[in-house]
Structure 1
Amino acid sequence: MAVKAPWLGFLFLVSLWGLSSPALLLRRLREHIQKSQESSSLHLGIGLSQGPAAVPKQGWLEQPLDPFNASDRRTFLQRYWVNDQHRAGQDAPVFLHIGGEGSLGPGSVMAGHPAALAPALGALVISLEHRFYGLSMPAGGLDMAQLHYLSSRHALADVASALQALSRLLNVSSSSPWICFGGSYAGSLATWTRLKFPHLVFAAVASSAPLRAVVDFAAYNRVVARSLTRAAIGGSQQCLAAASAAFAEVERLLRSGPASQAVLREELGACGSLHLTEDQAELLGALQALVGGAVQYDGQAGAPLSVRQLCGLLLGNGGNGSHSTPYLGLRRAAQIVLRSMGQKCLSFSRAETVAQLRNTAPQVSGVGDRQWLYQTCTEFGFYVTCESPQCPFTQLPALPFQLELCEQVFGISAASVAQAVAQTNSYYGGQTPGASQVLFVNGDTDPWHVLSVTQNLGPSEPVLLIPSASHCLDMAPTRPSDSPSLCLGRQRIFQQLQVWLKEIKKS
């Protein structure tokens, strides 16, 4: 149970200076917020004592590298965490927090959902880190031969195997109901675990789960634009117009020659020359991700910028009394994000991005950029674009530019990506997965909610759409500043679990 991963000494450590591809920048932003929230939770009194009764407890499971080939004896060590301080007996419910495309720390069982629900329901709380992320890294690096064993289907097999192994290790009764929790991609995994293993998993809570894979995720920026106009979170039509004007000015400067490009490079934190169109697209993509990130993580502890703060900057309300322009506001926003995340650059050259993504050494720091890119190329797509006239930011980077990364890094063609996305939707059912006893939770300002389930599919597939809530906000630790709608949303999650658990007791 408490073995150590023997290969940890060989890991290649990567700085948080990061990459500029829009999706990767958003992943780094999410990791930054999660670490900030976990750190805050620990400071509020969650102890990490190392004694025999330490809570939380860290453990390792030996899992098959290829669960679909019984003759393959290779294994890897998968990390999990346990919080048993609220467990009400051997047949108490078990809350399994499924990990996604990043590291899972002790906060995964100590703060936020499902930990907040555990005391009232007497639940045992466990979290399971996703293969190939965090410290759950198979030996052998991240070359293509290894990445063949990285997929959502492998992850689901890990969950099923872990559930049975942990039942034995932790003396869980066969009558204990297991409920899966997950946010974002992990929310999809929670749904699919209930779909594929209904005999093992009793129910699931899927927060901000993008259940429909899509190559061209143009709807992302449409939601971002709409959210920038919402007065409830500090937006306005003027803010949206200012964002559009700021991007127009960046594009004008990019077209104005080497001198203007050098100024942009200095002011916006671009590392490398902006002479090449592909490097300009990297910068524009990073700026889109900056604005998108303010919307996606609006109001969350650890987020560098809220929508209200971003709009204040774009509209010249920076607080120094001097006249400002939307471009200067965007420049200040970029500086705030860089400083908050400890990053050196907002964007790199395209060549450097490709070179870093081709690095096959296992990475502890960072969210697992190469791994997640591989999953988007082979399963999900999710490429955020801004090509339609309704997108107010910029017409770059276009979809072909993003799909080229799959070809340049992995040799995977655009046609193969499209085929893989279609297969994913066929295998899991897209936005009509057909899994019973799954609660789909979303916030209506979150750009990802358009790929989730936001309308009831039936009495056993309820939905909860929280007004003015951002990505996975219901899973974050509670704060005094939480809105009434967020508090009510969390209460409804608790009530739904109560209903389901009462039903299983009756039966």
Structure 2
Amino acid sequence: MVPTTAFLLGPLLLASLWGVSTARSLLSLLGDHVREVQARLVQKLEEPSPVKEGWLWQPLDPFNSSDQRFFLQRYWVNTRHWTSPDGPVFLHIGGEGSLGQNSVLKGHPATLAPHWGALVVSLEHRFYGHSIPPGGLDIAQLRFLSSRHALADVASACVHLSAIYNISASSPWIAFGGSYAGSLAAWARLKFPHLIWAAVASSAPVQAQLDFSGYNQVVSRSLADPAVGGSPKCLMAVAQAFSDLDFGLSEGKETQALLQSEVRACGPLEAPEDQDELLEQLEGLVGAAVQYDQQVGAVLDVRSLCHLLLVNQSRGPLSGLQDAIQLVLKALDLPCLPSSKAAALAELKDTRPQAVGLGYRQWFYQTCTEFGYYITCEDLSCPFSRRKTLSAQLQLCAQVFGLSLASVAKAVTRTNTYYGGRSPGATRVFFVNGKGWIGESRDPPSQLSFLVSVSPFLFLFPGDIDPWHVLSVLQALEPSESAMLLRGTSHCSDMAPPQPSDPPSLHLGRQKILQQLKIWLQEAEVAQALAGRPKPSDDQ
């Protein structure tokens, strides 16, 4: 006899950078929502300011001087706090999405600029937003999209903007960025130290990795962490729920139709690939709660998700999941959960430019040709569906771009060789990551024995609630290549607009960034003074 869905979900389920295996995953959409809410908050707080939009002619292929093709790259400038052409320039580097005027009104550059009379500049990444070269997003064009091309654009922008705004040659440029853009900030300092004086890299995954199973390991730890509202029961519920969902989806049409209605899937769940798509969306719902935990604009955080799911256990686990799904769909203004793999694939194949939000096709191309970052669930410590394998995700690189598994693996290795992975070797770079704490538990609860036996370190050591910290620099490598972990904070939370509800660690972390910046700018002043000192003559 086929069990009911309420029984299938058991005692129950818990509801970038981005999820990269499908277009418009809930993880990426919820990330967009966080940024949109924070942008509106900045707009309310900001008074009219001298923010200007500008455009730079950039070579399409900066590594081939005989190629005379160019494109227009958008930038923004905020001169409100700029007091002198000799003052510092704070450069906000764009990542895998469009940039608006808020890019020079929020985050570290705008917040720190008043202290030093800095000019604030942001540069939109090539092939994203309004900076898409003529010819669109077909495969022939996308070969000019990479982090190396983006860094060449940064170098070119430094030179041309210095001329446009009469910036002194002695002015120190400080690069800022979060997530992928945080990696770019660190790499800009690494590759162009004569142009970029220093960099603040927030939640920067500088280590390219093909199989990113560590993402879900961090999610698991966070769901069990009482410090952020999780609990062992919450984690156990998630593991049981996804196991039961897998079982229910493998049953007949009647059960699949019931599941479609109860979890508000957009389409039938008979095809295995569509079942996989639905499970991916639900996993993204959980991942977003951890990745953006407690940030302004987060629809649900770990605490609220655990509450929804555990408080409704007496009525069956599905009721709590339904509440969580309804909140997310309402916030994102979606009628139902996307569940068509064909639709996701069609979106990744769409070569039409998208001027706002995340560039789905472009970013997926970069994962296939540079970074990997494929979030998998093949080890026993993962609480989600085991269907999310590396091979299944790599098939998309072949389907969308015709790239083989071997070529993707080589690309990831090449990226780490070029930049140095977790040991980039750049001076004056400050790596900032969120940090949580998993309390010691040498005698774990009996219901978690199977999890602890599989992953004995899960509950014994400090854990970071930003899943992307796994690929970042967590300890100082050199005196001038420092790192900081902010307890109880999530992905790029240090870059969000400050709020009274921010944890003390976040306030302290922002102060440490300010202090580090002070040291760097003092060093710049010394360097300027030494450069301007007359050289002694031979007879002195």
- Are 1:410 and 2:401 an aligned pair? yes
Q: CA deviation at 1:157?
A: 0.4
- Are 1:58 and 2:78 an aligned pair? no
TM value normalised by structure 2 = 0.86
**Structure 2: gaps (5+ residues):** 1-18, 436-464, 528-540
* Pairing partner for 1:316 from 307, 311, 318: 311
Distance in 1 between the 2:321 and 2:205 partners?
29
Contact preservation (8 Å) 1:20, 1:283: no
Q: Which residue number corresponds to residue 129 of structure 2?
A: 134
User: What are the equivalent positions in structure 2 for 1:26-41 lying under 5 Å apart?
Assistant: 26-41=27-42
User: What are the equivalent positions in structure 2 for 1:83-482 lying under 5 Å apart?
Assistant: 83-316=78-311, 323-444=314-435, 445-482=465-502
Distance in 2 between the 1:22 and 1:254 partners?
22
Q: Deviations over 1:216-275 (max 9, x none)?
A: 100100000101111121111111112222222322321221112112222223222211
Structure 1 counterpart SS, 2:156 = helix
Distance in 1 between the 2:262 and 2:60 partners?
46
Q: Residue type of the partner of 1:461?
A: E
Distance in 1 between the 2:109 and 2:127 partners?
24
Q: Which residue number corresponds to residue 514 of structure 2?
A: 494
Q: Which residue number corresponds to residue 6 of structure 1?
A: none
Contact preservation (8 Å) 2:22, 2:345: no
Contact preservation (8 Å) 1:29, 1:341: yes
Q: Deviations over 1:21-78 (max 9, x none)?
A: 288443332222111101111022343xxxxxx5211111111111111111111111
Q: CA deviation at 1:411?
A: 0.5
Distance in 1 between the 2:365 and 2:474 partners?
28
Q: Which residue number corresponds to residue 9 of structure 1?
A: none
Contact preservation (8 Å) 1:315, 1:324: no
Contact preservation (8 Å) 1:118, 1:125: yes
- Shift of the 19–267 alpha-carbon distance from structure 1 to 2, 3 Å rule, reads farther
Contact preservation (8 Å) 1:243, 1:314: no
Distance in 2 between the 1:327 and 1:393 partners?
16
Q: Residue type of the partner of 1:276?
A: A
Distance in 2 between the 1:19 and 1:114 partners?
28
Q: Deviations over 1:127-179 (max 9, x none)?
A: 00000111111111110001011000000000000111111111111110000
Structure 2 counterpart SS, 1:253 = helix
Contact preservation (8 Å) 2:174, 2:198: yes
Structure 2 counterpart SS, 1:115 = helix
Sequence identity percentage: 59
Q: CA deviation at 1:20?
A: 8.1
TM value normalised by structure 1 = 0.92
Contact preservation (8 Å) 1:437, 1:460: yes
Contact preservation (8 Å) 1:205, 1:439: yes
Structure 1 counterpart SS, 2:115 = helix
Which protein is bigger by CA-based radius of gyration?
Answer: 2
Distance in 2 between the 1:66 and 1:331 partners?
49
Is 148-157 or 323-332 further displaced after alignment? 323-332
Distance in 2 between the 1:232 and 1:89 partners?
46
Distance in 2 between the 1:20 and 1:389 partners?
21
**Structure 1: gaps (5+ residues):** 1-17, 48-53
Q: Which residue number corresponds to residue 71 of structure 2?
A: 76
Contact preservation (8 Å) 2:224, 2:235: yes
Contact preservation (8 Å) 1:64, 1:73: yes
Moved over 4 A (4+): none
Q: Deviations over 1:318-370 (max 9, x none)?
A: xxxx9443333223222211211123342231112111211111112441100
